[in-house]
């Protein structure tokens, strides 16, 4: 009985510590004024945030002001969302977990762990598919990645080499990012199911490692690189028909991002 009470007390202390650390990290973000909407900042943020999270350089972290910079330094919006959920474990912020907060914690923590398990499983499947697709092109199977005769005649052999190098490099980057995402997803899923024994340790691992944010960044970089490889790859295959395909790629991307480029509607009476 004494051992169970000691274990329960230590578990509540760990939960309270995680909630306090999440609050301490989020407090500067909460005190930072959200920037006014700007289409240019939104495009820069959506384009460079993943690169900024990976390399954590000061110029990229500072794009768009302190609010954007804090999201980059935190590891992305997924980590911010997870920290907000962890901060709710200690609802009154007194540094202790009472019985009501413990019951709420058990329900919320189970949802977080289940979501992380499903998220890792889905991304591991998509990353495996992207890895198999891009790896065949990198290896030159079934045919090598090469300039078509029409492209060489239209641009010249020397002037068209940069198209081939750009398409091949972007495809290789997409493959590497897919492999990175697959590794992180498999390791995260294994830790959640087989390695970590308690709910508290799983939450602590997800909070300290930013495993979900790294998976999201890896997948977005995979898709960005695949988009670049596809746009330049069609130009490698044909300078005229490929140009139409590249424009269609760009328009498809613009159609998906356009709903986020408009200001939110005003509520009635506001």
pLDDT in tens, 105-137: 888 889 999 999 999 999 999 999 999 888 887
- The pLDDT, as a whole number, for residue 174 is 93
Inside any domain, residue 267: no
Position 235 in a domain: yes
In which residue ranges of the chain is pLDDT below 70?
1-9, 43-44, 47, 56-65, 141-144, 154, 157-159, 240-270
CA distance 108 to 116: 12
Q: Is the pTM of this model over 0.85?
A: no
Q: What pLDDT, on a 0 to 100 scale, did the predictor assign at position 74?
A: 79
In a domain? residue 269? no
**pLDDT at site 260:** 47
Instruction: Indicate whether 240 belongs to any domain.
Output: yes
- 3-state percent breakdown (helix, strand, coil) of the chain, nearest 5: 80, 0, 20
**Domain tally, the chain:** 1
Query: What is the pLDDT, as a whole number, of residue 248?
Result: 67
Range of the domain at 61: 2-261
Residue with tokens 């972290």: 61
Angle between helices 39-55 and 66-74 (to 10 degrees): 30
Residues 41-85: pLDDT tens digits? Answer: 776 677 677 777 777 655 545 554 577 777 887 788 888 888 888
Contact 105, 15 (CB under 8 A): yes
Q: Is 268 within a domain?
A: no
270 domain-assigned: no
Per the domain annotation, does 215 fall within a domain? yes
Cα–Cα distance for residue pair 232/171, rounded to 1 Å: 10
Distance CA 141, CA 138 (A): 8
**Chain centre to alpha carbon of residue 19:** 23
H or E element: which one contains 73?
helix 66-74
């Amino acid at each position: 009985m004494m051992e169970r009470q000691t274990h329960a007390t230590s578990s509540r202390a760990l939960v309270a510590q995680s909630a306090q650390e999440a609050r301490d990290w989020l407090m500067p973000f909460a005190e930072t004024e959200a920037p006014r909407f700007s289409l240019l900042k939104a495009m820069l943020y959506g384009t460079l945030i993943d690169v900024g999270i990976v390399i954590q350089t000061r110029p990229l972290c500072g794009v768009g002001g302190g609010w954007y910079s804090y999201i980059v330094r935190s590891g992305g919006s997924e980590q911010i969302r997870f920290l907000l959920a962890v901060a709710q474990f200690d609802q009154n912020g007194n540094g202790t977990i009472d019985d009501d907060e413990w019951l709420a914690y058990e329900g919320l923590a189970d949802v977080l762990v289940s979501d992380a398990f499903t998220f890792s499983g889905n991304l591991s499947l998509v990353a495996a598919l992207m890895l198999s697709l891009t790896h065949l092109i990198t290896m030159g199977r079934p045919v090598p990645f090469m300039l078509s005769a029409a492209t060489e005649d239209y641009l010249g052999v020397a002037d068209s080499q940069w198209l081939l190098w750009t398409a091949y490099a972007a495809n290789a980057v997409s493959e590497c990012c897919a492999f990175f995402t697959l590794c992180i997803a498999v390791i995260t899923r294994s830790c959640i199911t087989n390695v970590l024994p308690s709910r508290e340790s799983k939450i602590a691992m997800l909070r300290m490692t930013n495993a979900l944010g790294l998976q999201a960044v890896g997948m977005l970089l995979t898709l960005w690189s695949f988009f670049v490889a596809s746009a330049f790859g069609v130009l490698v295959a044909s300078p005229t028909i490929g140009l139409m395909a590249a424009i269609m790629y760009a328009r498809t991307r613009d159609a998906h991002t356009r709903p986020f480029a408009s200001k939110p509607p005003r509520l009635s009476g506001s």
